[in-house]
A and B are shown apart, each in its own frame.
Chain A
Amino acid sequence: MDLYRQKILDHYRAPRNFGKLKGATHKAQRGNPLCGDEVEIALKITRGVVRQVKFTGTGCAISMAATSLLTEAVSGQRLSQVRRLTEAQALRLLGTPIGPARHKCALLGYEALQKALGK
């Protein structure tokens, strides 16, 4: 297992799109009571396109890096495409297989995104 690749550590140390988003149209928070991790995702969606996405939160390297990568992936995308994003695709963004023990961490941001989009 090579979970802590440079890419994950890089996104953990310097998460992209981290911070508060002014004028968000969609927003949701997810937490994992098992480890206290928390992620809030905020999006600005106009005319069916994700114009901007930002997140805040605290957590382990996996949950933070996964959310950071997720925000990069959905930024500028059509809402219809973002809605079609599957769990498996979200996990693949990490670029390394994630064991079942860490699925919850890796999908925390994805779940927040789903909630924000009203799924």
Chain B
Amino acid sequence: MSIRNIKKSYPIFSRRIHGHPLTYLDSAATAQKPTAVLAAMDAFYRRHNANPRRGLYQLGVEATEMVEQVRSDVAAFIGADDASEVVFTSGTTGAINLVAYTWALAHLRPGDEVIVSELEHHSNLVPWQQLAARRRWKLSFIPITANGNLDLQWLRRHLTRRVKLVSVTHTSNVLGVRPPLPTIIRLAHRVGARVLVDAAQAVAHEPINVSRLGCDWISFSGHKMYGPTGIGVLWGRRALLEDAPPYQYGGEMVAEVRWGKTTFADPPARFEAGTQNAAGIVGLGAAIAMLRAIGWPAIRRHERALVRYAMKKLTMLSGVTVYGPHTAVDHGAVISFNIDGVHAHDVASVFDTLGIAVRAGHHCAMPLHTKLGVLATVRASIGIYNTKEDIDQLVRGIKKVQKIFEV
């Protein structure tokens, strides 16, 4: 599959928005869906629908096989040896909460410390904050330096035996910064802390290899990698998954149930109570197949070139402030900026009149915005279907804003 003309395989781009073609620059919020993903889910419902792992009839066997095939595909996709280390969740938020409410609740004691970074999305901040308050854990934040990188000197000083968990983003959803994970993981493991990596903003843009990375858990969402909403993944080391109790109870997660007592199934079933989002899992499988067919080298080449092009264009414009590093190297597929003198919401509204979709606000990272000293920013984020024309349209949008507001 070629990355050129790929827009054609995404039906949404046939739409016109306020008389303009859709310039979709909000893939970091959710990516658009290719026909292959939609067709796979449609085919599941039309031809194979049954409750996975329950039906003893032909359809049940097919549904189970399809779901378990995707589990293996996910494992291969992230470089995991063992498919049983892949737990299907509702998304990244579900995956992080799963670690918080199972492993962390079972293993952390009052006075133990959890470290996250100032870059975190609320979904990797609020669960820890709330449980820390309830269980009297200490929660600390790796500060960011002026250019948005993590202060590793701070981390070195703060990693003591009290630290039981470091939970950190792979790629910032606001600044595009990619923290040096191998170093962070090595330092954390040295004091016996476990490491959770939030890969929501990375998984559609670069290969992830959990074996090479050496982290203990990784979480991501299907919908940010061209798959459907409502499906996500928690990968965890087998020993850690086994060493954690379930936190949702129901069907198919048990080994044996008596009136007064239940023994639980092994992972991953232990963490998959209730009927799974089978069509979503199948759609995720189709998204993975699509990414593999294009291949990481082509995806990275294409997206890096676009980020570099966008960064050059935006930093050249007067009256535009770009946040985070200004180089495409070590930069994820997001660029956050403000037009001087204009509120981010007004920028997004003017963009909308030109068919440009961006995120405006704090992007679920309020403390980070406080640190940056701004209330809100505009975020343009890139997916495989974006082109230089999209960036040119963004620049036209910025100029229109500046004209309307006379700034």
Taking Cβ atoms with an 8 Å cutoff, the residues of A that contact B are 1, 3-4, 9, 33-37, 58-62, 101-102, 105
Contact = CB atoms under 8 A, between A and B. Distances in A.
Contacts of B352: 1, 101
A33 B122 CA distance: 14
Interface in B343-376: 343-346, 349-350, 352-353, 360-362, 366, 375-376
B375 A36 contact: yes
Contacts of A36: 362, 375-376
Q: Which of B345, B349, B350, B353 has the most CB of A within 10 A?
A: B345
Nearest to A105: B345
Contacts of A59: 343
Contact of A35 (B343, B350, B404): B343
B353 A35 contact: no
A62 B404 contact: no
B156 interface: no
Nearest to B352: A1
A9 B404 contact: yes
B345 A60 contact: yes
A34 B377 CA distance: 11
28 contacts: A1-B18, A1-B352, A3-B349, A3-B350, A3-B353, A4-B349, A4-B404, A4-B405, A9-B404, A9-B405, A33-B366, A34-B361, A35-B343, A35-B360, A35-B361, A35-B375, A36-B376, A37-B343, A37-B375, A58-B375, A59-B343, A60-B343, A60-B344, A62-B345, A62-B346, A62-B349, A101-B352, A105-B345
Contacts of A101: 349, 352
B376 A4 contact: no
A35 B344 contact: yes
Given A4-B404, A61-B343, 10 more contacts: A4-B405, A9-B404, A35-B360, A35-B375, A36-B362, A36-B376, A60-B343, A60-B346, A62-B346, A101-B352
A107 to B, nearest CB: 14
Contacts of A58: 375
Interface string B94-118: 0000000000000000000000000
A34 B346 contact: no
A84 to B, nearest CB: 29
A61 B347 CA distance: 10
Contacts of A61: 342-343, 346, 405
Contacts of B353: 1, 3
Contacts of A62: 345-346, 349
Tell me which of A4, A37, A59, A62 has the highest count of chain B C-beta atoms within 10 A of its own C-beta.
Answer: A4
B349 A35 contact: no
A113 to B, nearest CB: 21
B18 A35 contact: no
A62 B361 CA distance: 15
Contacts of B405: 4, 9, 61
A34 B343 contact: no
A98 to B, nearest CB: 10
A60 B353 CA distance: 17
A61 B362 CA distance: 18
Contacts of A4: 346, 349-350, 404-405
A75 B375 CA distance: 31
Interface in B23-50: none
Contacts of B18: 1
B368 to A, nearest CB: 13
Contacts of B344: 35, 60
A61 B342 CA distance: 8
Interface string B372-407: 000110000000000000000000000000001100
A3 B18 CA distance: 13
A1 B19 CA distance: 11
B399 to A, nearest CB: 14
A61 B361 CA distance: 15
A103 to B, nearest CB: 12
A37 B361 CA distance: 11
A6 B371 CA distance: 35
A102 B345 contact: yes
Nearest to A102: B349
A101 B342 CA distance: 18
A67 B199 CA distance: 42
Interface in B315-360: 342-346, 349-350, 352-353, 360
Contacts of B345: 35, 60, 62, 102, 105
